[in-house]
Structure 1
Amino acid sequence: MKDPAISTLDNIPQTKVPGTVRLVDLNHTLNDPLNWAPRRKLLSTICVMAHTFFKGLSTSSIYAVVVPLSKETGVPVKTLNQGTGYLFLLLGWGLLFWQPFALRYGKRLTCLLSMLGTIATCLWAGSISQYAGWRWVFYVPAILLSAVFLFVLLCMEETNYFREYTGSATPEEYELDHAIPTSDSTIEKQGSIQRAASRPSIRIGQIHASKKSYWQKLSLWTPKPGPGFLQTAIQSLSFLSWPVIFYAGFSNGLYLIWSNLLNGTISLILTSAPYHFTTSMVGLSYLSGCIGVILGGLAFGQVSDWLALKLARRNNGIMEAEHRLWPFCATMLLVPGSLLLWGIGAAHGIHWFALIVAFGLVAFAVALSVSISVNYMVDTITLVMLVRNTMSFAMGYGVTPWVQGLGVQNCFITAAAVSIVTSTMAFVFLKWGEKFRECSAASYYNLVDKRAG
């Protein structure tokens, strides 16, 4: 029996290239997250952002204390960096379990379980030694995460929702006019008349449901029908055979590993001569990375939409997914230059401020690359994270032998060269990305048929 939530796919004409999304209003029930009030949606978004921020804080805090932690515990820096590599490996491949779990049993429960696990790990890591200096690097994130856990527990609602369509609509009623005007004057002339004319008339299926109480909204167990764990995991892995999806993960991981390279060497370099930074000063150095990420996110949000619209107008009003890839041209210059500044500069003992600038520029490029990759393949974020974090594991595992074997200067010269060569893959997808998507169209629609049937 077909899933009623997606059985109407049989009536919707298939486009030549996957990626066209028709927005259909299926119901008016207040329990549907799509129909929540703006304040309710904002609270849900704040909960997700708080969870993401403080989870990231807790998993990355070790980088600032690698050297003192090694001295106090006797664990080599190489082993600590390899440990962070395994961390990224599990963050990526663990999604093959946690994504099906979240889709089946609820995102709220998944977030709470992940925070509990991280809190327990931070407390355990901070308690394994008697030294009071570095262990608070783990205690503080545990305390902050505990506060966020309570906030999410009391405020975050489940967004999984099973939509059952009960109305009827012909394929013609689903057709949308996707044409984009080719000039600003055309937009000004047509204005709201064109927008009103392009809005289709759709019969809306009604679902009658009573409004949930506060405690019902915060229910921890909200299973929904759908494919099983193993089926979802295997299906996710099969997406890796699609070139566009693999490239989205590769491009994301490509820039993240250079950030990991700097993270793996920042404590080693800045605590040594001629800088002699204390642990707190190394921690403050990460402000450069924070500023870079914020500026990168703001820059991409403004520039990407403007550039995509301009390119669509040049392309007879058709916007291709590859239009989002052009900002990679900026990162192709920023990352190699920053790696050279960091590696050669540290080897020759240049002023510490230049190293901090290099760190911030790499963070800026990482923010751009993450936004570009996720926008390119937003519906396959699990595979993007899997490929990205597998690459991060490789970098975390090999960063110390790489630096020790070649020296700081030669290591980063090599890294810059690798960055330049691998970044040019963006031009391959700028040229033939649409062809790659067309080649995956048959597999995509076979998958849709299986899900619907």
Structure 2
Amino acid sequence: MSDHRVVPGTVYLVDVQHISHSKHADNGDIVLVPMPTDDPEDPLNWSRRRKLLSVTCMAVYMVMVGLSCSLVYSIIVPVAEDTGLSVADLNAGTGYSYLAFGWGCLLWQPAAKQFGKRPIYLISLLLSIGVTIAVPYALSPGAWMAMKILGGLAGGPLECLGEISIADVFCAHERGKFMAIYAFVLFAAGFLAPILAGFINDGMGWRWAQYWGAIWLAIGFLFCFFFMEETNFTRTSVLVTEETQNEIGSKTAAYDEANRMNDIDKPNCMDDTKAESFQPTTQNDLFNGTMTWPRKTYLQKLKMFNNVQPIHHFWSMVLRPLRLLSYPVIVYCGFSYGCSLIWYSVLNGTASVVLSSPPYNFSASYVGLTYISPMIGVGVGSLIAGNFGDVVVIWLARRNKGIWHSEYRQWLNLIMVVLLPGSLLLWGLGAEHGIHWFGLVFAMGLIGCCIAIGAHLSLSYCIDTYTDFGADAVVATMCIRNTMGFAIGYGITPWTENLGYQNAFLVAAAAGLLQVLTFLIMVKWGPRIRERSTDRYRRDVDSATELGITH
């Protein structure tokens, strides 16, 4: 049974007094959260090379699915002219796909727990191939909407499995930079697709952009089939001993307990530099001599279904994320992430229309090239939120006697207080007054930077706070995020047409500034909100553990 007074999202991360008995990174003072197990096949005990291959496979999946569902952004005008569909219909289709991406996670995430992440990634790629091939034949508004919904459902794991796959193989102190990679790949793929689609449209027509998307998906399927490993891993909790509690003291022992209790439904990690020469030891060694662990062969790593869970709990897993919508932190994360998606949709919904019209008159290929700017912006934003963010949270934890709060990373929102409203004003007012094209392209880069920072901070806060059911918390977050994305996708065209770019983006800049400033609420009152949720959180975790439906 867990300690019901351990506050979720608060851990003893930096062992400044060298009193914690938990394992440490590189024998330093960074406590490994969660504490490593002894099994070398535990994903968090893999060698560095094996971990990076796992991340690469996840990234390949995300790039291929992200490309296939984002090919239309730079060629909205050519598609509308060829099919007779209106720009509003095409943007509404994007909104419906976001809705399907988010709510489809309610099925994909439980399926990944039930059958494993590897088969779900592969099935998603196969389904996406079929939908992408069918899109060029959707020539009516109803058919277009249907294809976008099916595409969103097929690609649902893009939204909900990548973050958890990273949490499967990396500890808390190093997770930030890999979450940044996730955020970069997620949005960079969406910005790379318009670049490629623009040139394909000019040379082969817009339908071939979709056919090439299917080819890329097939390549991704083959790569993941031969190189992707399963990262699901079943483990039990490890409790802090009375001796440890006495040594650390009542306060820090509670936080050390949190580190260990994170084992309930998340994998552990060990020093990567020692993974290859790892020699496991357990309490059984005291009685049975040296204990050896079986290592998987290459063919065993390709096995499609490992540790399949009882099917009678599937629907309990489907409904569980909806219950988490009553946690204020999760609602905040969903709202914050949803706002990042809104700015992404606003940019994609207006870029082709603005840049292909006077005074710019860009061809589809030139419109596509402008997406290099937000790609660079996403890269910069990912570095800020990931690598720099890790440095910030460790520094703040050291200042707080080693105690780390999940709100620490939220201070990076200060960067967006200036960048987000400034970039939206530059884009909207620039489009209204026909400024030099470089100004608009520069604004696209700034928006891309803000999107990456906002997405990373939202997901990290969600997973770092409610680690024990991080997968379900992510699904709940995605439901909120993508519902907001659907709304803006449905309304972006009439909004800008009725208000004009200047007034529409004046409103957007003001709304963006207010939204970013809400992080101050969580920094001040977030710890108290988390503390009040402790008893309920532990009851939910214990109940899920008894049913065997934890991550």
TM-score (norm. length: structure 2): 0.71
Among 231, 234, 255, which residue is 1:159 paired with?
231
Aligned partner of residue 69 in structure 2, secondary structure? helix
- Is 1:375 the counterpart of 2:468? The answer is no
Measured in 2, the distance between the counterparts of 1:314 and 1:403 equals 47
* Aligned residue in 1 for 2:387: 302
Say whether the 8 Å CA contact 2:5–2:535 is kept in structure 1: no
* Aligned residue in 2 for 1:220: 304
Say whether the 8 Å CA contact 1:169–1:203 is kept in structure 2: no
Report the CA distance between 1:205 and its aligned residue: 6.2
TM-score (norm. length: structure 1): 0.86
The aligned length equals: 418
Among 484, 495, 501, which residue is 1:408 paired with?
501
For residues 295-322 of structure 1, what are the alpha-carbon distances to aligned partners after superposition, in whole Å with 9 as ceiling and x for unaligned? 1111222332232233334444432211
Aligned partner of residue 230 in structure 2, secondary structure? coil
Distance change (3 Å), C-alpha of 1:13 and 1:440: closer
For residues 211-248 of structure 1, what are the alpha-carbon distances to aligned partners after superposition, in whole Å with 9 as ceiling and x for unaligned? 33322221122343367222112221111111111111
- Is 1:146 the counterpart of 2:146? The answer is no
Question: Map of 1:97-246 to 2, 5 A cutoff?
Answer: 97-126=107-136, 132-163=204-235, 170=241, 172=243, 203-204=282-283, 210-225=294-309, 228-246=313-331
- Is 1:75 the counterpart of 2:159? The answer is no
Among 18, 22, 29, which residue is 2:8 paired with?
18
Measured in 1, the distance between the counterparts of 2:460 and 2:230 equals 24
Measured in 2, the distance between the counterparts of 1:262 and 1:76 equals 18
* Aligned residue in 2 for 1:451: 544
Report the CA distance between 1:366 and its aligned residue: 0.8
Q: Which runs of 5 or more residues in structure 1 are unaligned?
A: 1-9, 180-201
Report the CA distance between 1:382 and its aligned residue: 1.8
The letter of the residue matching 1:162 is T
Q: Which runs of 5 or more residues in structure 2 are unaligned?
A: 12-32, 140-200, 253-280, 286-290, 464-469, 547-551
Q: Which is worse superposed, 93-102 or 401-410?
A: 401-410
Say whether the 8 Å CA contact 1:237–1:383 is kept in structure 2: yes
Among 403, 423, 426, which residue is 1:338 paired with?
423
Distance change (3 Å), C-alpha of 1:152 and 1:302: closer
* Aligned residue in 2 for 1:190: none
For residues 76-107 of structure 1, what are the alpha-carbon distances to aligned partners after superposition, in whole Å with 9 as ceiling and x for unaligned? 11011000000000110110000000011011
Say whether the 8 Å CA contact 2:4–2:535 is kept in structure 1: no
The letter of the residue matching 1:219 is K
Report the CA distance between 1:413 and its aligned residue: 1.0
Measured in 2, the distance between the counterparts of 1:75 and 1:94 equals 26
Aligned partner of residue 319 in structure 1, secondary structure? strand
- Is 1:437 the counterpart of 2:522? The answer is no
Question: Map of 1:257-268 to 2, 5 A cutoff?
Answer: 257-268=342-353
Measured in 2, the distance between the counterparts of 1:217 and 1:428 equals 46
Distance change (3 Å), C-alpha of 1:405 and 1:448: same
Q: Which is worse superposed, 352-361 or 142-151?
A: 142-151
CA RMSD of aligned residues (A): 2.5
- Is 1:95 the counterpart of 2:179? The answer is no
Distance change (3 Å), C-alpha of 1:37 and 1:309: closer
* Aligned residue in 1 for 2:490: 397
Measured in 2, the distance between the counterparts of 1:364 and 1:168 equals 42
Measured in 1, the distance between the counterparts of 2:394 and 2:482 equals 32
Say whether the 8 Å CA contact 1:240–1:383 is kept in structure 2: yes
The letter of the residue matching 1:305 is D
Say whether the 8 Å CA contact 1:66–1:80 is kept in structure 2: yes
Q: Which is worse superposed, 340-349 or 310-319?
A: 310-319
Question: Map of 1:3-42 to 2, 5 A cutoff?
Answer: 10=1, 12-20=2-10, 23-28=34-39, 30-42=40-52
* Aligned residue in 2 for 1:387: 480
